[in-house]
Amino acid sequence: MGKISHELMKKYVYSRLGKLRNEVIVPSGPGLDVSITAISKDLVLISHLDPIVGAVGKIGQLAVNVACNDIATSGVRPKWIMSLILLPEKWNADMLDSITFDIDKAARELDVSIIGGHTGYAQGLSRPLVSISAMGIGKREDIILTSMAKPGDTIILSKGIALEGTAILASDFKDIILSKEVPLGLIKNALKYFQNISVVKEAAALSEAEVVNAMHDATRGGVAEALLEMAHASGTYIEVYEEKMPVTTETLIFAEKLGFDPLWMISSGTLVISVSPEKEKKAIEILKNMGILASVAGKVIGKGNPGVLIHRKNSSKEKLSNLEPDRDELARLWEKYPRV
């Protein structure tokens, strides 16, 4: 699955959002994870929708966590979800059982209710597609958006880059990785990363402590695209250093053997945080007290033409200015190594 270019989105999607009702505070837009709708003078509804098609194993778990993550990064705890499950042409009851079991389990772990949805199958699908709509309610004054990153802010990354992609590779590409002479123990370790996909608890802790200006879950396109989306949403320029980014042994070995760039690998579970310098220490302390690795990766340089400058480990520089929604290393590996 790919994403549509930013230019076509502006022309055919963002310009066609129906009637902009008075209660719509933040509609759909580039770099924004959620929509915000007023439901009273002080309360707002935070909503988000995300599909998962780049995985087979644990797709239900991933779908719930990825959608709920985006609600949490807005400073609100997710409360309700709706699920769309589209099974491939060649489906069976065991596949449906596995997906719905994982959706139910993930929702229970996050204290979230499943309030509706649709389940069926579609001709032409070679693997399942699960899409989750997530919602939560919060006070208008407490909402956090990616557009709130400020010049001078410190950029902090949590857990590790390419986290989600590494777990998916260990599950759905196990045969390929084993053929590259990667030890089975490393693959088993990488499978445990599925338990680190949620950022709900840490995002809630950071927002409730009022120590962050903006947060973003690094989904498709990984940390690189997440930083670029934050830059575009906030109208800022961000500078980061690859050598300062947390990365696990399993990710490094998988990247070497399969030939992918961890910075552009889907990475739900990695929280990109923009925080004022005077609150940097407190934010890191909160994460470390939760047993979560946190690393300072760079800073927000200033306002102006949005973009990201990545200082690579090999001393080269990668300058990003335009959103690259169709660039993702997991999608490329699915094309290179077709699965189910």
Residue 34 has pLDDT above 90, yes or no: no
Residue 31 has pLDDT above 70, yes or no: no
Compute the average pLDDT of residues 40-56. 87
164 pLDDT band (50/70/90 cuts)? very high
pLDDT the model gives residue 64:
96
What tens digit of pLDDT does each residue of 275-320 get? 999 999 999 999 999 999 999 999 999 898 999 999 999 999 999 9
pLDDT the model gives residue 327:
87
pLDDT the model gives residue 121:
93
Residue 97 has pLDDT above 60, yes or no: yes
Residue 40 has pLDDT above 70, yes or no: yes
Percent share of the chain, pLDDT over 70 = 97
Domains of the chain are 6-142 (3.30.1330.10), 146-336 (3.90.650.10)
Compute the average pLDDT of residues 123-133. 90
131 pLDDT band (50/70/90 cuts)? very high
What tens digit of pLDDT does each residue of 187-216 get? 999 999 999 999 999 999 999 999 999 999
Cα distances (angstroms) measured from residue 48 to each of 118, 134, 204, 336: 17, 5, 17, 31
Residue 1 has pLDDT above 60, yes or no: no
pLDDT the model gives residue 243:
96
Q: What is the pTM of this model?
A: 0.88
pLDDT the model gives residue 28:
74
pLDDT the model gives residue 340:
59
What average pLDDT does the structure give for the chain? 92
